[in-house]
Amino acid sequence: MFYGERIKQLREMHKLTQAALIQNIPEITQSQLSRIEKGRVEATEEVATLIAASTGVTVDFLTRSPDVDLRAHTPQFRARSRVTESARNSALQWARLIAEKFEELSGGNTLFPVGLRQLYGANPRDAAQEVRSWLGFNSDEPIHSLILDVEKVGVTVIGLPIVESNIDAFCAWREGVPTICLLDGVPGDRLRFTAAHELGHLVLHDGQRSGQEVEREADAFAAELLTPINSIKNEFPSKITLSTLTMMKTSWGVSLRTLIRRARELNLIDQDRAVGLYRQISARGWNRAEPGHVPVEKPRAFRKMAEMRYGPGPNIPLLATEAAWSEELASNIVDRHAKASELPFVGPSFTRVKGENVVDFQARRAARSG
């Protein structure tokens, strides 16, 4: 049998209306498609084949009972008024597709035990320091590979092969497993802050609250996690300019705007100076992509498990066949997860800016294993 819910999933993944989906399928009307999606009638094999071929899967995908449903587990999106329902549904359905395969590859067990706990109602700064200890960091060192360290406390991190201008990421607790979904096309500095923001939601919020206050709490958590205020205050140069902040950005892996906010919180600059720096960023066209290199981090676990099952690479044709995906779809999904060669190396010569001088500092980890 062909599951109507699967057809709806594919349609929403690609942000198609029912009318748009049937444009190239003359054998079916919109009314019939609606009834198929609701499970009232079953699609014919011809219709199912055409839908599968146009959405990047094989017809076998439509015969598989739907499993992981992130909708039922209070997914937390950033409160942005410009996010459309179509964009949200697309992101959720892509996440659902990959989460199902993730769960199947893991056999229901994550590579690492869940070491993340919920601290509902905690002060965001205190919670961030607590999470730093869970991640294995002290209170003042930069976190160089946030995504990998988050995976190592049992958080499922999924890379989605889609770009949305108003969604960078979202999170959910799924059957007791914390899950963060990262969209593509996000600069490295913003991606790290966004991942930390979503981690804050998982730790601080139960999904019953929403709005600007919840977002401010997640932002405060992310800022403290990535730039602990008692440590970062000693790192600012005596003269705060975009040039000197760019050096700090490279060291701490956060945006210039984050550093400006931190400098303002510490009263190292006044409001007029902060506004002036923000205006300089806008005038230089840096709102979407700033100077200062911060690598785009990728999650590793999905690809690691695929390599364990399908061999080095992994073998895309084997993965595609078993998942009932096209090879192009399988390749796009795998590419959003890190190869062993893409894992960061953090050695003893890592440099960080303090004041206006660059000094060596003994890193916590000598290397990352694949």
- Residues in the chain where the model's pLDDT stays below 50: 72-73, 347-369
Give the other-Cβ count within 10 Å of 32's Cβ.
18
pTM for this predicted structure = 0.88
Q: What is the pLDDT of residue 362?
A: 32
Structural domains of the chain in order of their starting residue, each with its CATH number: 4-66 (1.10.260.40), 72-295+346-360 (1.10.10.2910), 302-342 (no CATH)
Contact 156, 110 (CB under 8 A): yes
pLDDT score for 68: 62
- Residue 18 makes CB contacts below 8 A (sequence gap 6+) with 11, 30, 33, 34, 37
Q: What is the pLDDT of residue 346?
A: 52
HSE, side-chain direction, 13 A CA sphere, residue 48: 20
Q: According to the model, what pLDDT value does residue 74 have? A: 54
pLDDT at residue 97, as a whole number: 95
Count of CB atoms within 10 A of residue 188's CB? 18
